[in-house]
Amino acid sequence: MKKYQNVYEFLISKLMERQEEVGTHICTGRLANFEEFRALCGFIDGLKYAEELIRDLEKRQEQDADE
């Protein structure tokens, strides 16, 4: 089992894993229709946004600790 240095690293890792899973599913070409494609692309966008928020939170916490 992988060891994580902090909760941020764990969360980002899980978000990235899910992005890869969904991206792989899209690339298989087995989507039912264009609406499913759009929904999954939106899902990936949401995961990326969550990842950005977590990275920003980590950066802010580090800056606060330095002050």
Domain residue limits, the chain: 7-66
Give how far Cα 3 sits from Cα of 9, 26, 48, 55, 67, Å. Answer: 10, 30, 22, 18, 28
pLDDT of 27: 95
pLDDT digits (tens, 9 = 90+) for 23-61: 999 999 889 999 999 999 999 999 999 999 999 999 999
| Side chain identity, residue 11 | L
> CA-CA distance, 4 to 13, in Å (whole number)?
9
pTM attached to this predicted model: 0.86
Whether 20 shows a pLDDT value over 90: the answer reads yes
